[in-house]
Amino acid sequence: MRWSQLFVPTLRDAPNDAVAPSHQLLVRGGFMRQLHAGHYSMLPMGWRVHQKVAGIVREEIEALGGQEFLLPTMHPASIWQESGRWDTMGEIMFRLNDRKGAELALGITHEEIFATVASELSSYKQLPQVWYHIQTKFRDEARPKSGLLRVREFHMKDSYSFDVDDAGLDVAFDNHDRAYRRIFERIGVPAFGVEASSGAMGGNDSVEFMTPSDAGEDDVVRCPSCDYSANIEKATSTLPPIDDGSATELEQFDTPGVRTIAALEAFDGGAAADRQLKTLVMMLDGTITLVVVRGDHQLNTQKLADATGAIEIRPAEVDETFGALNAHPGSLGAVNVADHPIIMDSSLEGRVNMTTGANIDDKHYRGVSVERDITVGQWADLREVGAGEACPNCGTAMIIVRCIEIGHIFKLGTKYAETFGVKVSTPDDGEVPVVMGSYGIGIGRNMAAAVEANHDENGIIWPVSIAPFEAVVTIMRLDDETLAAGQTIYDDLKAAGVDVLIDDRDARAGVKFADAELIGIPFRITLGPRGLKEGKAELTGRHSGETEEVGLETVAAVVAERVAAAKR
């Protein structure tokens, strides 16, 4: 490819509204342009990278036996109504009507559709199956952001496994776990797996793959000394024991003007935060619910969602709270509350001599024994782990790392199989629902993650495996002799299977060097009159930043070998 004819609109300045490095560099490098929020046009350079990432994903999924499909992205409402997700998915799903008025949805994922196809499976002898496609997903995100990291329209490889039993699912799950780790390794994205909430997927076990980045949106709790790591939506920690003394009588006392945990700590006759109960009044799908955590703990709403299955969760308004408890925030508590559900954080089990609001403004209780004085409807892990808390496995102080979620694998069980009638006969002439798993990896997000992990002040440093071009032959002077020499090297590289670009633009050296570095081509072969006289080319590595002189006749072979080595 001749650079002079290639559409690569590089920019000297990043657009003002791009903040994340990958966003800035992918726009500056002419890889993509924004159409509107969350929708990007892939330009030729961007699409080349995208295709290479997708190709690596395809190879690894094929290697574990995956069969490639292509399912529609526009779906009838009925299929989503059958699974119940027409309602539970809420606003994330784009919905539209056709000319007949029929309701349609744009696919956010494809469990339902693959399950429909899978209903033609009939015998255990056909299993296991792993099916996948690489297809556009549409999600009406509340806040698209950071370039390709969070968009409303993107390509995802999603695969689905079908097994006769849980043991089979475990195999498919482990195969995907290994394949995903190989994918991240090959595309140059440092990754690790974490325990995760399954959220709206409805599965019972899932692993998220994370790469550390300030541009990410997830917090991961990690132990520096053992291998514990979990999404903060799922993470736990070991709390130091607290001596409550022995249980005493429940006693109401006046606390004029005390509205906060901190104020009650400072109040004469109050209590330390870890001896207080924090009562949060939440609306769970329209039901007033009391959620109780320790005074110095924070509620994690995803944990609450996972524990209750609630879809819509929000704090109750002050008037709703007053209507339910006859008191205002600052004096709320769960003691003697009988007519509202109460969910209690597990860490409060067995606690006595606690202090909490009395549901009378300016009054609190002390001497609260949790089990004795509160009608707990449900115990659940609700608190959010903080940095420095002890690892549940080994007790080491843990850290919190900001991460990008780059893949997620789920054990789904038989939920979709039962809904869509995916059943197979068994050797003993029985019939069982098929056990499913689903496995997702966003192509564009991984492309952006690769940039986040591989760039410097001059631009992107693509791993050879996904670089838009593996090498560029930079012609320093557009005379016949230099062009001919460049063309020969270009042809040799082409013949050796290298993705090579020849920079034949009538531009100054600085422009060519800067562009090649910005768009991150791994190897640059520079041909100028100086070296040409001595029969030499210069070979510069984008990654190493180092330049060496190589003979004109051997440089193509040297580069071809290095490219091949990098891809091994």
Partner RNA sequence: CGGGAUGUGGCGCAGGUUGGUAGCGCACCUGCUUUGGGAGCAGGGGGUCGUGAGUUCAAAUCUCACCAUCCCGACCA
**Where do contacts with RNA occur on this chain (CB under 7 A)?**
9-17, 19-20, 23, 34, 36-38, 89, 92, 108-109, 137, 139, 141-146, 150, 156, 199-201, 208, 217-218, 301-302, 305, 313, 405, 408, 440, 458, 476-477, 508-511, 513-515, 517-518, 526-532, 538, 540, 547
* Distance of closest approach, residue 19 Cβ to RNA, in angstroms: 4
Q: Which is nearer to RNA, 151 or 358 (CB)?
A: 151
> Do 173 and 128 contact (CB within 8 A), yes or no?
no
Instruction: From 50, 111, 52, select the one nearest 445 (Cα to Cα).
Output: 50
Q: Which is nearer to RNA, 18 or 226 (CB)?
A: 18
Structure token pair of residue 95: 């919905």
* Distance of closest approach, residue 548 Cβ to RNA, in angstroms: 11
CA 106 to CA 117: how far, in whole Å?
18
Q: Which is nearer to RNA, 232 or 500 (CB)?
A: 232
* Distance of closest approach, residue 16 Cβ to RNA, in angstroms: 3
> Do 111 and 416 contact (CB within 8 A), yes or no?
yes
Q: Which is nearer to RNA, 109 or 446 (CB)?
A: 109
Q: Which is nearer to RNA, 136 or 396 (CB)?
A: 136
CA 502 to CA 516: how far, in whole Å?
11
Amino acid (1-letter code) at residue 505: R
* Distance of closest approach, residue 523 Cβ to RNA, in angstroms: 13
Q: Which is nearer to RNA, 373 or 405 (CB)?
A: 405
Q: Which is nearer to RNA, 32 or 156 (CB)?
A: 156
DSSP 1-41: -BGGGS-----SS--TT--SHHHHHHHHTTSEEEEETTEEE
Phi and psi, residue 257, nearest 5°:
75, 0
Q: Which is nearer to RNA, 168 or 442 (CB)?
A: 442
Phi and psi, residue 449, nearest 5°:
-65, -35
* Distance of closest approach, residue 554 Cβ to RNA, in angstroms: 17
* Distance of closest approach, residue 437 Cβ to RNA, in angstroms: 14
Helices 166-186 and 44-63: angle between axes, nearest 10 degrees: 140
Partnered with residue 460 across adjacent β-strands are 455
Q: Which is nearer to RNA, 248 or 554 (CB)?
A: 554
Dihedral angle computed from the Cα positions of residues 484, 487, 491 and 496, in that order, rounded to the nearest 10 degrees: 110
CB-based contacts of 429, cutoff 8 Å, min separation 6 = none
Partnered with residue 523 across adjacent β-strands are 471, 541
Dihedral angle computed from the Cα positions of residues 181, 185, 188 and 191, in that order, rounded to the nearest 10 degrees: 40
C-alpha torsion sign, points 216, 218, 222, 227: negative
Q: Which is nearer to RNA, 499 or 517 (CB)?
A: 517
Instruction: From 397, 408, 383, select the one nearest 235 (Cα to Cα).
Output: 383
Partnered with residue 527 across adjacent β-strands are 475
C-alpha torsion sign, points 22, 27, 31, 32: positive
